[in-house]
Structure 1
């Protein structure tokens, strides 16, 4: 880890507290969807069997309901052992999309392409065709349309090594990676293979202001602020930001 440690008063973070720190879908002010939406800092979410499935699910649901929003999850990697369980938890809480999304030309084109490819999908229970958020298995977004597609693609992995390879399969301009694994040792092993400078472990869209000055200055730094651990460090020759809630276990 990096040096120059600055400490404020830490405390144990629970998944409930993490969820409360994130803005809800209602709190986010979403810009109107352009007629030809492009990617706006999409996120890659990686969920391991040792991750907090309920907190990860809570954050993913917001992206599924607002898939064209800036910072929404575009690609989901799931460890095979919990993939069905996690997707089941997500599917049971999906709600009808707003008409702005469901009637958007990019979304309808994506649905037509999914049908043409006969791709495996998961949609909301009891929702009508065309009104549900969609998870699409084993596709990259370039197969489904140009720019933002309005769906989340899903891939499964067995090991961290496989996850690293899948993370680079779809070359989107990822703004962040949200990585869910309570064992930080395993999470850190994956960081060199992730396609973003910003890695949020066991959290989603954390406030980066406390560490941004160090990152922008290409300076190593470690600090605790607002119950989060922040690092600016170089991993495999690349400057990164790593953030996680205080209380996450460093283990393998």
Structure 2
């Protein structure tokens, strides 16, 4: 018989799932040139609201031509942190380190009464520019998201190596599929979403686990297991259905004999 656990009304410490103690399936966001920024930042905004959770966005790689657009869109959509996250010791530690480094940040700002001096609002989400997670305690979630600017895809492997985070997937937003595939292969991650994120991988997972190249169209998405550098990668992107089979022509109803007789009499008259 299992031992009885004494009843307690006390809730577990925030967040309660251990996601502040270790990285749980962190992801990477890559914004390429001419990408759809509004769609790309949706999972990032969820992370900025609640930075201690599984499957959060730990880092963002942004093409240099998209940096200002990205910054404006994120700031316009930012909300303050969950109140427990804003009081978490790791968030406070990260904020102290940011001040020590004098790092550039993207955050919610408020001004004094004459609008002369601006400073970070209490409990604001923070994106730190050009510093990696190791500066803020990268062995566990730091409550901040790091942003790196790149000029070409050749720089991506080095940026991934700098972060030293166990990324399980990446979301690449790029309007040109050839460039998106090149970016996906440069990241060196097992799972890459192109112009989408967090799509269920059930339709293709059997082939991926078997390390067998395969292509499936399911749930309006293209799933592909492709071999690259002696290793299989899983790539997913939306596949819009623009064609459907036409309905077969319906046979005309046969005329009744009585109707045919009436037609003959009319013709004789």
TM-score category by the smaller chain?
A: 0.7 to 0.9
Equivalent residue in structure 1 for 2:61, among 64, 77, 80: 77
Distance in structure 2 (CA, Å) of the matches to 1:48 and 1:199: 14
Task: Report whether the alignment pairs 1:89 with 2:89.
Answer: no
Give 3-state SS (helix, strand or coil) of 2:167's partner: coil
Q: Does 1:207 align with 2:200?
A: yes
What is the match of residue 172 of structure 1?
A: 165
Kindly report which structure 2 residues correspond to 1:104-183, keeping only aligned pairs within 5 A, or say none: 104-126=88-110, 129-145=121-137, 146-183=139-176
Aligned with residue 54 of structure 1, among 38, 41, 46? 38
Matched, 1:188 2:172: no
List runs of 5+ in structure 2 lacking aligned partners: 1-13, 111-118, 242-269
Question: C-alpha separation between the residues in 1 aligned to 2:90 and 2:22?
Answer: 10
Unaligned runs of 5+ in 1: 1-29
TM-score, normalization by structure 1 = 0.81
1:110–1:144 CA contact under 8 A, matched in 2: yes
Residues 195-223 of structure 1 show CA distances to partners (whole Å, capped at 9, x for unaligned) of 42000011111111111011011111101
User: Compared with structure 1, are the counterparts of its residues 169 and 222 closer, same or farther at alpha carbon in structure 2 (3 Å cutoff)?
Assistant: same
CA RMSD, Structure 1 to Structure 2 (Å): 2.0
How has the CA–CA distance of structure 1 residues 98 and 201 changed in structure 2, closer, same or farther, with 3 Å as cutoff?
Answer: same
Work out the CA distance in 2 between the residues paired with 1:31 and 1:198: 27
Question: Bigger relative contact order, structure 1 or 2, given CA contacts below 8 A and separation 6+?
Answer: 1
Counterpart Cα distance in 2 of 1:216 and 1:199: 15
Q: Which residue of 2 aligns with 1:236?
A: 229
Look at both structures and tell me which one has the larger radius of gyration over its CA atoms.
2
